[in-house]
Structure 1
Amino acid sequence: MTTETIIETPKKQRIADWFKALDRNTPSIIKAILAPCIGILIFLLVWSAAASNINTSLGKFPGPSAVMEQFSSLYEEHKTERQKEDAFMVRQETRNNERLAKDPSYEIKTRSYPGKETFIDQIFTSLITVMSGFLVGAIIAVPLGIAIGLNKFIRNGVDPIIQVFKPVSPLAWLPLVTIVVSALYVSDDPMFAKSFIVSMITVTLCCIWPMVINTAVGVSSIDQDLVNVSKVLRLPALKHVQKIVLPASIPMIFTGMRLSLGIAWMVLIAAEMLAQNPGLGKFVWDEFQNGSSNSLARIMTAVFVIGFIGFLLDRAMLQLQRFFSWDKSTAN
């Protein structure tokens, strides 16, 4: 053992002891805050250093400061667009009132604001689309999963279909859904835009499978004692599902819902890009096609927003699981 090694060993031991003492003496709430802050800081430093060394055809890759500038810029654009919309509606109302004063029989015509959707508008469009597709999927998947879990014959009949369609990419579903919707959804005054229907159905088709599988597993693994109690009480089928099956399988149902909602949010962005539904996916695609000097920073801004919203959706579903589930340990 060399002299350097002898000197180095106590030094390493002192550092290790210091970290142990810090861990013991630091309150848990500070540790819970400190660790994420350190992780975020390291991430920002690495990102900033890497971005300054990456040159693209549109300039340098955007760093944290460029993304923050675009957050502010996109919000200012939203406020400006809302001011234009308010002014447009005021002008329209004034014009209609003037015409009505001249001609009481005049039929008032109200047009919606023709301006473009802002980044904030596109966020809400994406949220409405993903929740619509997810809710439709849940309405189909949960009863189907219960039926599969309760009946072995149904399970054997449906399982091959699930295994075949479960891994299919949304990019494969999208052309088929687009053709079918274009053929069937024909109206001179449609309630919803075709692009919205296409994106919603694509989301439903891709997020339905985790809910079906987890619900079926939860139902089929119910404690046999609970099933015996139901038999002793001679509960009707619907009452058995309501009083025994649903309460016992709620943890697994919500686990499937959390997985499905995450998949739905990922699928939606790809679907909106191709279906041109005016949401975040279309925003990313338009900025990519635009190719301006700010496009990369705007796309990176959208990436952070998409990730943050996905995180919030997962936390919201977790809180719902904690509220409805009898077993709070499963909701983590």
Structure 2
Amino acid sequence: MDSKKIVGWLKGLAAPTIGILAFLALWAALAPQVDTSLGSLPGPVEVSAQGVALFDEWSAAQDQKAEFYAAQDARNEAAIASGGETRNFEYSGSPTFLDQIWTSLATVALGFFLATIIAVPLGLICGLSKTFNAAINPIVQIMKPVSPLAWLPIVTMVISATMTDPDPTLPKSFVISAIVVMLCSLWSTLINTAIGAASIDKDLMNVGKVLRLGWFAKLTRLVLPSALPYIFTGMRLSLGVGWMVLIAAEMLAQNPGLGKFVWDEFQNGSSQSLARIMFAVIVIGLIGFLLDRIMMLLQNFASRNRTV
């Protein structure tokens, strides 16, 4: 790597590093001055210590899970040897902090996927058809500002009424949270996709008419490549909204995930609860940042390979 690039990279890294260190120093200095019902506000050291403790709890839970299945395999082998019947049970230990993270990530992934496959086609149609856009625009403007807290009871009742199987493929709480994420996050992608499709150069569309391209060829060769930056911008916004919505929905509905972890710690009220909540908040923010970076990388990759 060129020495100038290294120097430039280090200069770009200096300002964020100084900002983070200054924030941590200010946090450490001011935290002991804030008294709560659970004691003084935890500083960076106490919060990081609880992060280590949460990881240790996950490691211990993994060991217990391994021991459970090892003991079950031993019982089944003994049963087979004696001609008895084998029995297999699922490990039913309480989910740890890391388990809650994976649950939330899987939930937001499903909700975001559902939102994308609905919003992108609708957005393309809105951008290409002024009549369809005029028909659907009032619905979009009314539904877009609706809070997830308003959607949650409706979705809960509908899913509870439709998912009547006693052993569903996906847990009911997981589906409810994912649907709420979908309903609250699809609007950014829909609106940006419509803007991207509507802003295509008219000369480009005229070229398509001269070449007598079919609607599918126009869509894949002209419309989608031109609208791609707008689509990815909408998807980035939708993913950020979906992540925020999910945490609120999990807290309110007590569905598994990081939101439920935060609420359970708040209800627990132990001396470590506040530090654990603050560590969870930091993790939630870091995950949101990483999800946005991932979407930005995908956008850059798709834009680099698009041809119009």
**TM-score above 0.5:** yes
Does 2:50 align with 1:70? Answer: yes
Residue 174 of structure 2 is matched in structure 1 by: 196
The structure 1 residue matched to 2:37, chosen from 29, 37, 57, is 57
Q: Rg bigger for which structure?
A: 1
Report the TM-score when normalising by structure 2.
Answer: 0.95
Shift of 1:109: 2.5
Residue 245 of structure 1 is matched in structure 2 by: 223
Measured in 2, the distance between the counterparts of 1:114 and 1:184 equals: 26
Cα 1:163–1:79 change in 2 (3 A) is same
Does 2:111 align with 1:133? Answer: yes
Instruction: Write the mapping of 1:312-327 to structure 2, written as runs, cut at 5 A.
Output: 312-326=290-304
Measured in 1, the distance between the counterparts of 2:104 and 2:163 equals: 21
Give the letter aligned to residue 139 of structure 2.
I
Measured in 2, the distance between the counterparts of 1:284 and 1:44 equals: 22
- 1:156 aligned counterpart, secondary structure: helix
Residue 101 of structure 1 is matched in structure 2 by: 81
The structure 1 residue matched to 2:236, chosen from 237, 249, 258, is 258
Shift of 1:236: 0.9
Measured in 2, the distance between the counterparts of 1:44 and 1:238 equals: 54
Measured in 2, the distance between the counterparts of 1:29 and 1:82 equals: 40
1:141-189 CA-partner distances (Å, limit 9, x unpaired) = 0000001101111000000000000000000000100011111111121
Contact preservation (8 Å) 1:198, 1:275: no
- 1:192 aligned counterpart, secondary structure: coil
- 1:252 aligned counterpart, secondary structure: helix
Give the letter aligned to residue 69 of structure 2.
M
Give the letter aligned to residue 97 of structure 2.
F
Does 2:14 align with 1:34? Answer: yes
Report the TM-score when normalising by structure 1.
Answer: 0.89
Residue 86 of structure 1 is matched in structure 2 by: 66
Measured in 2, the distance between the counterparts of 1:148 and 1:292 equals: 53
Measured in 1, the distance between the counterparts of 2:51 and 2:35 equals: 22
Percent pairwise identity: 54
The structure 2 residue matched to 1:269, chosen from 234, 247, 256, is 247
Measured in 1, the distance between the counterparts of 2:256 and 2:74 equals: 30
1:250-306 CA-partner distances (Å, limit 9, x unpaired) = 000000000000000000001111222211011001001100000000000000000
Shift of 1:327: 9.0
Measured in 1, the distance between the counterparts of 2:124 and 2:9 equals: 41
Give the letter aligned to residue 37 of structure 1.
T
Measured in 2, the distance between the counterparts of 1:123 and 1:130 equals: 11
Q: How many residues align?
A: 301
Measured in 1, the distance between the counterparts of 2:305 and 2:166 equals: 51
1:190-242 CA-partner distances (Å, limit 9, x unpaired) = 11111101100000000000000000000000011211111111111111101
Residue 236 of structure 1 is matched in structure 2 by: 214
Contact preservation (8 Å) 1:247, 1:326: no
Residue 8 of structure 1 is matched in structure 2 by: none
Unmatched tracts of structure 2, length 5 or more: 1-5
Measured in 2, the distance between the counterparts of 1:189 and 1:31 equals: 56
